[in-house]
Amino acid sequence: ALADALRSLILSLRYIEPKSRALPVMRHATNVWKVRIDNPKLLVASRIVIRVGSELSEDALRKIFVNQATVGSA
């Protein structure tokens, strides 16, 4: 189920204003996906939102990604 959820992954960069921009997600390894942010200034005034499509409930996805999401350089 987690692999299916990751296949539906959309990573969006959401500004404080209500506009968002989808960033291309690339497969890095088995069950590992990455996104490249070329402009570090975007991270200062923005937040990253991970959207996952799945048959799991939103609460279940939140619990999974608290333990599964890793932030680091690619």
By the 8 A CB rule, do 46 and 13 touch? yes
> Looking at the 3D structure of the chain, how many domains does it have?
1
Please report, in tens digits, the pLDDT of each residue of the chain (74 residues total).
566 665 555 444 443 345 666 777 787 777 777 877 777 777 777 777 777 777 888 888 778 777 766 666 65
31 within some domain = yes
72 within some domain = no
22 within some domain = yes
Which tokens hold the place of 46? Answer: 């923005």
Boundaries of domain holding 8: 2-54
Task: For the full predicted model, state whether its pTM sits above 0.75.
Answer: no
18 within some domain = yes
Residue 68: partners with Cβ closer than 8 Å, 6 or more residues away: 2
